[in-house]
Amino acid sequence: VQMVESGGGLVQPGGSLRLSCAASGFSFSTYWMTWVRQAPGKGLEWVASIKEDGSERHFVDSVKGRFSISRDNAERSLHLQMNNVRADDTAVYYCVAGGWVWGRGTLVTVSS
Amino acid sequence: SNELTQPPSVSVSPGQTARITCSGDALPKRYAYWFRQKSGQAPVMVIYEDSKRAPGIPERFSGSNSGTMATLTITGTQADDEGDYYCYSADTSDDYREMFGGGTRLTVL
């Protein structure tokens, strides 16, 4: 049972980044999937969630209109498209399955 | 309100009982969950649906939710229980939001 995030890195303010998460070892299509982030030295923050079939998507206010979330159940993958990023988006981003399975996180650094 | 409030830190001696509280207006209507995060690691679920222990979590961990406060109790605290503990809840009404508390650093002295 694991999830592995990828796609993090250094991006300039106003730029874009696409995070991905590959799941294995559990029934991916039966879980709400979530992105949670953690700024350096700070606590956990919910970012976005998507229903099992993708019919519902929800975002924290600070990323609405800039981030989008998607999933591919056939490929067992989750994605977070980050547009117009800001310095305060700098964080480790975790993908989470129903609260039960967490990836190890991928670091996004927004800096010029 | 969309906030969950936790004390920044709790300290206990080995073998003592640690209690970590989480207060918020959403708690009477929604389940509380607890996660533990050790340094450099991803969080792990400890308690779900107010009081159920996640698989593999020792019996010394228990949870409760009464009114606007949820509590994580660790009876007979061990050094290995140190870490940051976060409560979590979700408001799935029309104004959907999920939220974590600010986190509590548990130190076993």
* Predicted pLDDT of residue B42: 97
User: Which of A37, A94, A102 best probes binding to B when mutated, by most B CB atoms within 10 angstroms?
Assistant: A102
Q: How far from the centroid of its chain's Cα atoms is residue A8's Cα?
A: 10
Q: Residue B90 burial by CB count (10 A; 0-12/13-18/19+): exposed, middle or buried?
A: buried
Q: List, for chain A, all residue ranges whose pLDDT scores fall below the cut of 50.
A: none
Dihedral sign, CA of A55, A58, A3, A71?
Answer: positive
CA–CA separation, B48 and A74 (whole Å): 28
Contacts with A36 from chain B: Cβ below 8 Å: 43, 100
Question: Would you tell me which residues 53-92 of chain B have a C-beta closer than 8 angstroms to some C-beta of chain A?
Answer: 54, 84, 86, 88
Contacts with B1 from chain A: Cβ below 8 Å: none
Dihedral sign, CA of A18, A23, A29, A34?
Answer: negative
B34 near B68, Cβ under 8 Å? Answer: no
Instruction: Determine contact: B7 vs chain A, CB below 8 A.
Output: no
A8 near A79, Cβ under 8 Å? Answer: no
User: Which of A36, A50, A55, A95 best probes binding to B when mutated, by most B CB atoms within 10 angstroms?
Assistant: A36
- Summarised one tens digit per residue, pLDDT across range A80-108 is 999 999 999 999 999 999 999 999 999 99
Which amino acid makes up residue A22? A
Q: What is the DSSP string of A37-83?
A: EE-TT--EEEEEEE-TTSS-EEE-GGGTTTEEEEEETTTTEEEEEE-
Binned at pLDDT 50, 70 and 90, residue B67 comes out as confident
Write down the residue that tokens 């800096």 correspond to: A111
Q: Which of A13, A2, A57 is nearest to A35 (CA)?
A: A57
- Summarised one tens digit per residue, pLDDT across range B9-55 is 999 999 999 999 999 987 888 899 999 999 999 999 999 999 999 99
B88 near B104, Cβ under 8 Å? Answer: no
Please indicate whether, in this complex, the C-beta atoms of A44 and B54 are within 8 angstroms of each other: no
